[in-house]
Chains A and B, each alone.
Chain A
């Protein structure tokens, strides 16, 4: 139907942002409707991916490959597998909700805000389908620019500190990846990721490259102990920025692990899998406790994001243990599959949680939990959604949060019951911090007279929350289509793990 579907998906929002900038400050409504038009169009186009992608065949499909820089052999190479398709559709879906969510909230230069959002969306889509390592890297870094602007201009009181920390922290990680890529280029003479995956490397080389990749992606995910930029960035970012950050941008880190660490340095990955597993467990347990004591709602959800992303990294690296130590491919696939579902599910849940906090913040202009209480009395519909997403956040069966975590715990049990035990702590800790949050914000008597004046959610907010709710419940009740979409790609990834490259 479309010959350049992926290019269209990347460039539609990026180029669509230019007329927005030209619309200027004087016509904010024009800018809003234009951005909605672009976001919806992008989403519709991304649905064609589901049609064109053949989930049974797996592998990289819908390929586009052009020589970009002849003298360096850099290609403009795009292709998707099941995992990319799922992530791209999630990105475009969240894109619409972010535009809708910012509709009246952003009053200062809305055209620039929307333009930055759309550019960010386009670049993120690009990251999820690049097959040339240098193209991937360029897009991976370029997403920092719009996010830097988003937090810096429209953020909270400490936005400058937060955005500088965010930018420099993530930049710090990724430059080492650049050195690793240049080294690989020197060896292989190409940046093509498939060729790099087949390149034999000694254990020493693999170790260095593994750590260069790990630091880049671990900061992005973020993993303990390099997660400290995330709470700051989340707290200070505008609601839309937080939603995109949690829902999509963190996934870039784990996606990078799949595309770089797994195929290019599998032996070092297997050798150091214990390290990542331990860090993931620390994220799940320790960061869960940290979330418990937060007094700021956004910070609480930010820390819970770190804990939940721990499941993704655990699922990916537990597969190493299962394949290399016990050749248990079936269980490895289960763990990997769980990690992928957790990625998508966390995208929706965290996006929804941040939207809820945004709704409260727009009315009260405070994120402190103690300022709330009894919100359910004045906003019953909002309360309904808030409880739903909170339940999903603690992994209640029937919501999407349950599926991925359950699969990862199951897989880790067959690797080592102790790992499963620590991972399962999340069921208690997650429930504790989330339910306690709900209790303090929603239930009880109204003690603050500002709460009594809060208005019920309007049509626009209802639309955003309903959309998130549909996604969360649909994935929870019937994950089969998603499992099918990613199934063959996941098993191909797991088979790659078994290949020794030394």
Chain B
């Protein structure tokens, strides 16, 4: 029976559920001119959740609801950064939503439900709670992509996302059922990840277990957007409203890392020598497809979509090391990537206006002259994404490469580094457009004057530089979460 302690352990999640309901109700009774308050209420909600996550028993692992829900340091770090990036998304997207008359209650409630999904997913201690968190996140995301429901492109993107997402969920569920079955052959059937860890030792159907593992990896690969399960990424990134893309590209990736870690290490850690190579193959495919296809893109959102695929390749490099050091490196990578991509989309949101999405690379022509500060922030973000020191993206890459070398996968590290060179080109190309091209005739590039956005965006991008100069504490935190 759940007791008070269970509820206390899940306090941030319960708080979010309650606030999402409050938001739904207030939205229904609000007059149109009061709607903007929703923005501040939502940010306050997330801020309180961040406080609750940090203030609740730091460093002490605890489980609730009979092992369904795990609260450990890994989950806490991922939750804090998922909430922080969502706050950033809210701050960056307000002017955009106002311009397009999309500042509606649904956006905020769905976003909060999606964050709740992330929080459940990264804390999952059971196959069922993994699926629960994943579906909460995914269903909210499908709806968010179609937020602007009268437009063609977002609707198309949402349908694609939904169909492919449902397929991947099905695969995952199918895999889970096999694992469950395998655990029952030779022992008591279980869905608990901690108990599944030992299934390989006693099961009479190891082949079935392996099959289940493969299907689960397909699910994880889909959620990460790793090639060859990346087909949805470019269309969804391009089609979704930019704030939603920013969310899918940041907070969602933290969730995907959490899910991969829970399923593969907590659940299937015994089989690590099996999935190591699978992840390595996914990593190489993602690096190759992401980096090569990104080069020919002319749409910035689509280019960033392919760059996401390649970044997930690097993240997989860390995961495939299958040891604490590799997980710490991959988590560091996921956090840095979330902060970088939210900044990149933030600049796009800052430059967009009604009727002008600022999503073609050529839209940024002459930004260095028109809006030097925004251009500088974008420059920092892009160099960080490209992995040039002293920005944090470089250290994140160095960490995952080191993890791969440490796990005796030198070839993987070399593949990673070769694709880093190829990837450099398309980031430099955007910088070239911003700085070396003259502004187009009659160019109306002008950044938004929204103060909260300018301040947060500056902090975000300069934070990439600051983290690059002093990344010790964040890395230390990630390593501590995995016991090193």
Contacts and interface: CB of A to CB of B under 8 A. Distances in A.
B383 A179 contact: no
B389 interface: yes
A77 interface: no
B428 interface: yes
Interface in B426-455: 428-429, 431-432, 435-436
B186 interface: no
Looking at B394, B398, B420, B425, the one whose CB has the most chain A CB atoms below 10 A away is B398
A182 B399 CA distance: 9
Interface in A400-431: none
B425 A168 contact: yes
Nearest to A167: B428
Interface stretch (A49-57, A81-89, A152-160, A248-256): A152-160
B64 interface: no
A69 B413 CA distance: 22
Contacts of A167: 424, 428
Contact of B405 (A109, A153, A172, A183): A183
Contact of B417 (A69, A178, A186): A178
B479 A71 contact: yes
A160 B436 contact: yes
A153 B413 contact: no
A168 B424 contact: yes
A138 B469 CA distance: 10
Contact of B406 (A139, A145, A186): A186
Interface string B263-276: 00000000000000
Nearest to A74: B472
Given A141-B389, A167-B424, A167-B428, A179 B401 contact: yes
Contacts of B479: 71
Interface in A65-112: 68-72, 109, 112
A148 B401 contact: no
Contact of B401 (A145, A159, A178): A178
A175 interface: yes
B469 to A, nearest CB: 9
Contacts of B470: 68-69
A289 interface: no
A23 interface: no
Contacts of B389: 137-139, 141-142
A186 B414 CA distance: 15
Interface string B381-401: 001000011100010001001
A168 B421 contact: yes
B475 interface: yes
Interface string B465-484: 00000111001100100000
B225 to A, nearest CB: 24
B476 A71 contact: yes
A164 B425 contact: yes
Q: Which of B390, B425, B470 has the most CB of A within 10 A?
A: B390
Interface string A162-191: 011001100110011011001101100000
A149 interface: yes
B410 interface: yes
A285 interface: no
Contact of A178 (B368, B398, B406): B398
Interface string A452-492: 00000000000000000000000000000000000000000
A148 B435 CA distance: 11
Contacts of B401: 178-179, 182
Given A141-B394, A168-B424, A160 B432 contact: yes
B383 A71 contact: no
A68 B476 CA distance: 12
A144 interface: yes
A139 B388 CA distance: 10
B388 A142 contact: yes
The 10 closest A-B pairs by CB, nearest first: A138-B389, A69-B472, A152-B436, A175-B417, A182-B402, A141-B389, A71-B476, A172-B421, A142-B389, A182-B405
22 contacts: A69-B472, A69-B475, A71-B475, A109-B369, A138-B389, A142-B388, A145-B383, A149-B435, A152-B435, A152-B436, A153-B436, A164-B428, A168-B424, A168-B428, A171-B388, A171-B421, A172-B421, A175-B417, A179-B401, A179-B410, A185-B402, A186-B406
Interface of B: 368-369, 372, 383, 388-390, 394, 398, 401-402, 405-406, 410, 413-414, 417-418, 420-421, 424-425, 428-429, 431-432, 435-436, 470-472, 475-476, 479
Interface of A: 68-72, 109, 112, 134, 137-139, 141-142, 144-145, 148-149, 152-153, 159-160, 163-164, 167-168, 171-172, 175-176, 178-179, 182-183, 185-186
Given A149-B435, A152-B435, 16 more contacts: A70-B476, A71-B476, A72-B472, A112-B372, A138-B394, A139-B389, A142-B388, A142-B389, A142-B390, A153-B368, A163-B432, A168-B421, A178-B401, A178-B417, A179-B410, A186-B405
